[in-house]
Amino acid sequence: MSGPYRLAEGGQIDRGKPLSFRFDGKILHGYRGDTLASALLANGVRIVGRSFKYHRPRGIFTAGAEEPSALVELRAGARREPNIPVTTIELFEGLEAVSQNRWPTLGFDLGAVNGWLSPFLPAGFYYKTFMWPAAWWEKVYEPLIRRAAGLGRAAREPDPDSYDTMHAHCDLLIVGSGPSGLDSALAAGRAGQRVIVLEQDFAFGGSALLDPAARDDLTDKLAELAALPEVTLLNRTGAYGLYDGLVVGAVERVADHRAVPRPHEVRQRQWIIRPGRIVLATGAQERLIAFPGNDRPGVMLASAAATYVARFGVAPGRRAAFFVNNDRAYASARQLAAAGVEIAGIIDTRPDSAAGREAERSGIPVWFGSQVSATEGAPLHVLTITPVAARLRPQMLLADLLCISGGHDPRLQLAGQARLPFEWDDKAVAFRARGNDRIEIVGDAAGVEGEGTPPQPFWEVRPSRGASKAFVDLQHDVTADDLRLAVREGYAHVEHAKRYTTHGMATDQGKTGGLVGSAILAAEKGESLAETGLPTSRPYASPVSFGALAGAETGEHFRPKRRLALHDWHSRHGAVFVRLGLWLRPLVYSPSRDTSWAPVLAEAKAVREAVGVTDASSLGKIDIQGRDAGAFLDRIYANTFSSLPVGRARYGLMLREDGIVLDDGTTSRLAEDHYFVTTTTANAGPVLEHLEFHHQAVWPDLDVEITNVADQWATFAVAGPKARAVLARITSQDLDDAAFPFMAVAEAVIAGVSGRLFRISFSGELAYEVSVPSGHAEPVWEAILGAGKPFGIKPYGLDALNLLRIEKGHVAGSELNGQTTAADLGLGRMLKKKGDYVGRVLAGRPGLADPGRLVLVGVKVDDPGRKLRAGAHLTATPESKESLGFVTAACPTTEGKGFIGLALLRGGRERIGQRLHAADPVRGEACDVTIVSPHFVDPDNLRVKDASPVGAVEPLVLPRSVPGHHALIPDRPSDRVAEVQLAERSPDIAEIKLRRGGEAGLRRALQAEFGLDLPEPGRSAVSGALKLLSLGPGDWLVLDKHGRPGSLAVSLKHALGESASVVDLSSAFGVLRLSGPKARSVLMKLCRIDLHPRVFGQGHVARTLMAQIPVLLHQVSDEPAYDLFAPSTLAQAFAEVLVESAAEYGLRLD
């Protein structure tokens, strides 16, 4: 036996598997199949914790997740978790639990003095005290309140365990695995429906677990369900929320029954389930009765006592009394009596009952029309019985266990979250929920139907003067008197009373006493229970760990890392990276990790004096084609682009609808119907969304095709007086000013790679931007560095780039802050006078023309020895409290003349030449500054237009460029038999978009030239090595598994002519092939799409988000095998997520 209260036989524990565990440091013993609660009871442990407010001793009150009193800290160190009900903890070898909310010991808790102070701590006392003296609040009251808050102690160390999420779809979801739930599952499973059964307990069966006669039938049902291919049985899985659209959230405790999860095993898994229908088979919850001393250790719900006897082979006491108002509780008394527990008597509040008479005939004393009016002992040893209606002498009854039953409430938390209507049932003395065509409520969850004498509405025994408290909420120490006080003080509504008293706001959410609280409120207000109602049910129905909710999206996967095509090169050459949004960008190149201004100035001076190169690949890049492309851009931009000559670029300004600047950047015209738009890094996504919205919703009649090509092109800026000479060594493009002037654009071969060349400058120096397919990024970058070596070329990072643009007075994200107008930035002259465009009307609002607006100026520090930082406020004098503006960006100058900056300043242009004060209270810094023009370098813009001839240069001897291969999949060998395979693929890729009126021609051309037919929406078509994937209306991705990168786009352009726009995406994607028996399970962790073979099979195509990464999903076979297309800059992050998600199934990397 594992303890003095363990029965010699019975229960469903494995007596051949003894387990040892610790409670408050003491070694105790139990069996496999025990909960911590049953094991503690078996060992005679009666006091398990202390209550929240009064620190009263508390024992085990229930046998399930509704436990309000017996909460412990589980495990130790980084895995320590507070406030866990012992009734939900599955016993395992080496378990460590500690009682909480006590000091110094559980048996002697100094906090119990709060009980003596209870007259001063009524409901809402914190609203009425701590009011004075005001000076005490921060030093006395607040620290005191914070120390008193909470019950247990959470771990301070990072959680060492892992978690994940599983997305599931089914025809029928059944919550609860009692007899009614299993019958529903069998009916649906036999009909071939997809069924998921959730059971929060570790054992299936519900009430059938307590009935020996039902166990064989239970075993047969579970065996049949397990054999049905479309049925999924999930034990240790509790549903916590039912949301709009019939979406159910649940948490599976995968490894909580072990001390430590196994290798590659998650501790908990969140399930997000999208069913067609739901069956709520959640059963009913026995409720308490509020009477003096109803919280003592040894007071327990009647059904809980029966559970410990029948399921765990534990006698919760030697001599038990029952306090009941219904016939159903008598069955619990019979179970205890059959197990050898002495029944001291049954106190029944009803005048008479059939079940009571039968108990009397079996020799059990029954007191009809009586109540328990007091209890004594901790733990319990005696109780007082008084008549309900008459004032007669009380009787004393010796008992170490009092089993109470105030009736049974259907478990309606999920039904309430679904906003199903509740109806009061006088006969059952409970609320019932009415289902609908998609939610069915079965079994006891639909209402407890009983034979014999109906239950009596009996809620409380009013304490006499000096008697112990009668609790309604055992965890938060809320009494019946507290609820009456709430009504007297104006908090009579059930929702107000809940918040005023905290009734139902503890971890158990008042499951055992919720209706009792409503009944007391109703009586105090003189209304019916139907009128008072219950508090609104909201998620979470039971506590959920933050780890389960976060899943795998923590740490490095909280936000995916977007890596430049040259990320590895930058890393090898000493780049210090900075995280900007999703991007990892080189801040400065410093192998010694010097983060001072010295290496930044060295990079910037190289640009000013010779030549430098920077990786600008993070810029947004958008391909726009179509007959109406020019007209579309004229409406989008505040300046005109339809008049832009082919082969030229123009700086553009884009406004929001409210007239505020959205973004700036250059747009180049590559052909009459083909433009290439660049955006700032930060606004790449918003600008693309802005363009697509206006095309689809505002001007759908325009013939325009918009394609995001940000990942296709790697872009490098070569800047400095020697930039022309450097590029002349690696391209045949004529770079003389006459042939290639400022803002010229050409498609050119650079370092042997077909790309695009732009004469654009952000630095204020002679500069060019080179764009090549990102697969060729490294060889072209190396060629630029090789060509520039004789000229002293340096790569420069984001800090130097920012310094150069500040000196030139160019705006960036810190000035394009969502509050500035074109006029504020000194760009008002760019707004065209004729023609409409987005933002034109509201840009003319009086408020945007206010002369007092903040406008762009330059700031120069008067003392070269002082620093200036972004964020500093500008004031008229050091003493002034009025901020006139603020510094948006600051840096030292390349000329060594101290710090300069850009600022937004009220009336700034009129203040040029004035001296102001710059104060940075956050850093405790200040300096005097002079307001100047924002153009510190080359204000006449002569350098960018440098027309000096190239002269004679020696061409650089180049190796043949082939696309570089960057291994996406991290090398993490698996120690398990592989049920999943992951491999990289490298097809040539192009996107085609239908032009207006071109469908017939497109069909003919695809069939004639490639043997391809247009697939159905969401499907694919195959012809030899070619594959056509449907992305959406008029949009397809074409793959050639044997093609040379870029060649497919050339062939398609030639074949399709004017019927469709073609965009080369040969470097835009990282492509991964996921296959194997568990491939679908891996994707279910990441993908919300229903991937069941009936719904998504071979040839299906879908766009989705996985781990916050946009992914194109294509099922290539029924093995199953999937091709996954992720943006190339996010492909490595996606591969890492896939590898981790597949680890538990065993993974082979190809």
CA-based nearest residue to 37, from 61, 13, 14, 8: 61
Whether residues 910 and 1059 share a domain: the answer is no
- 613-637 pLDDT, tens digit each: 999 999 999 999 999 999 999 999 9
Which residues touch 256 (CB under 8 Å, ≥6 apart)? Answer: 89, 90, 236, 267, 268
- Average pLDDT of the segment spanning 496-522: 92
Asked whether the predicted pLDDT for residue 672 surpasses 80, the reply is yes
Same domain, 186 and 274: yes
Statement to judge: residues 942 and 886 lie in one domain: yes
Mind listing the pLDDT tens digit for each residue in 682-696? Answer: 999 999 999 999 999
For the residues 1097-1114, what does the mean pLDDT come to? 97
pLDDT at 448: 76
Residue 689 shares a structural domain with residue 737: no
Query: Which pLDDT score, from 0 to 100, does residue 150 have?
Result: 73
Instruction: Give the H/E segment covering residue 332.
Output: helix 328-338
Confidence check: pLDDT of 967 > 90: no
Least confident interval from 106-110, 744-748, 1140-1144? 106-110
Asked whether the predicted pLDDT for residue 963 surpasses 60, the reply is no
Domain boundary among 97, 113, 148: 148
**Count of domains forming the chain:** 7
What is the percentage of the chain residues whose pLDDT exceeds 90?
85
| CATH code of the domain covering residue 896 | 2.40.30.110
State yes or no: pLDDT of 11 exceeds 70.
Answer: yes
* Integer angstrom CA distances of residue 1093 from 663, 916, 1121: 45, 70, 12
**The pLDDT value given to residue 837:** 97
- One-letter amino acid of 573: H
- In this predicted structure, the answer to whether residue 456 has a pLDDT above a threshold of 90 is yes
Shared domain check, 918 and 777: no
Tokens of 510: 């008042």
Query: Does residue 308 belong to any structural domain of this protein?
Result: yes
Query: Is residue 379 located within the same domain as residue 494?
Result: yes
pLDDT band, very low/low/confident/very high, at 433 (cuts 50, 70, 90): very high
Q: Which of 764, 796, 812 is the last residue of a domain?
A: 812
- Residues 273 and 172 grouped into a single domain: yes
Task: Say whether both 729 and 672 belong to one domain.
Answer: no
Percent of the chain with pLDDT over 70: 97
pLDDT at 1: 52
- Helix, strand, or coil (residue 403): strand
Angle at CA of residue 442, ends 441 and 444, nearest 5°: 110
CA dist., res. 688 & res. 78, Å (int): 44
Q: Which helix (H) or strand (E) holds 396?
A: strand 395-398
The mean per-residue pLDDT over the stretch 401-406 comes to 97
* Residue 405 pLDDT level (bands cut at 50, 70, 90): very high
Task: Judge whether 720 lies within some domain.
Answer: yes
Phi, psi (deg, nearest 5) at residue 14: -100, 95
Q: Kindly compute the dihedral angle of the four CA atoms of residues 182, 184, 187, 193, in this order, to the nearest 10 degrees.
A: -100
Domain-embedded: residue 962:
no
In this structure, the answer to whether residues 761 and 865 fall within a common structural domain is no
| Domain boundary pick from 258, 281, 304 | 281
For residue 1143, name the pLDDT band (cuts at 50, 70, 90). very high
For residues 122 and 475, the model is more confident at: 475
Asked whether residue 417 is assigned to any structural domain, the reply reads no
**So what's the pLDDT on residue 918?**
97
d(CA 851, CA 58): 70
Average pLDDT of span 174-202: 97
Query: Does residue 50 have a pLDDT over 80?
Result: yes
Q: Which CATH number characterizes residue 22's domain?
A: 3.10.20.440
The C-alpha atoms of residue 343 and residue 331 are separated, in whole angstroms, by 13
pLDDT of residue 962: 53
Domain harbouring 602, CATH code:
3.30.1360.120
What 3-state class would DSSP assign to 839? coil
Residue 796 has pLDDT above 80, yes or no: yes
> pLDDT tens digits, residue range 730-750?
999 999 999 999 999 999 999
pLDDT in tens, 1028-1081: 999 999 999 999 998 899 999 999 999 999 999 999 999 999 999 999 999 999
Answer yes or no: is 171 within a domain.
yes
Mean per-residue pLDDT over the chain, rounded: 93
> Measured between alpha carbons, how far is 426 from 759 in angstroms, rounded to an integer?
84
More confident residue, 133 or 342: 342
* Tokens, residue 309: 């006897």
Asked whether residue 431 is domain-assigned, the answer is no
Mean pLDDT, residues 382-395 taken together: 86
Asked if pLDDT for residue 164 goes beyond 70, the answer is yes
Band (pLDDT 50/70/90 cuts) for residue 466 is: low
The enclosing domain of 703 has a CATH number of 3.30.70.1400
Confidence of residue 124 (pLDDT cuts 50, 70, 90): confident
Q: Has residue 72 got a pLDDT over 60?
A: yes
Give a yes or no: residue 543 inside a domain: no
Q: Using the predicted structure, report yes or no on whether residue 171 has a pLDDT greater than 90.
A: yes
State mean pLDDT over 461-480.
Answer: 88
What CA–CA distance (Å, rounded) separates 755 from 745?
11
Q: How far apart are CA 983 and CA 474, in angstroms?
A: 56
Let me know whether 1135 and 1007 are in one domain.
yes
Strand partners, 379: none
Domain, as residue range, for 1140: 980-1149
Give the whole-angstrom CA distance, residue 479 versus residue 498: 12
Tell me the C-alpha distance between 805 and 937, whole Å. Answer: 9
DSSP track, 585-649: EEEEE-TT---SHHHHHHHHHHHHHS-EEEE-TTSEEEEEESTTHHHHHHHHBSS--TTPPTTBE
| pLDDT one-digit tens code per residue, 549-583 | 999 998 888 899 999 999 999 999 999 999 999 99
CA nearest neighbour of 221 among 186, 187, 184? 186
**C-beta of residue 330 within 8 angstroms of C-beta of residue 355:** yes
pLDDT average, residue stretch 182-206: 97
**Residues 1049 and 1132 grouped into a single domain:** yes
65 and 32 inside one domain: yes
Strand partners, 857: 903
Please indicate, yes or no, if residue 699 is contained in any of the structural domains. Answer: yes
Task: Tell me if 800 sits within 8 A of 607, measured CB to CB.
Answer: yes
Measure the CA–CA gap between 659 and 641, rounded to whole angstroms: 19
Longest dimension (CA), the chain: 120
Write out the H or E segment, with its range, that includes residue 586.
Answer: strand 583-589
Q: Nearest Cα to 728, choosing from 765, 694, 763, 770?
A: 770
Supply the CATH number for residue 197's domain.
Answer: 3.50.50.60
Closest of 522, 444, 510, 449 to residue 476, by C-alpha: 510
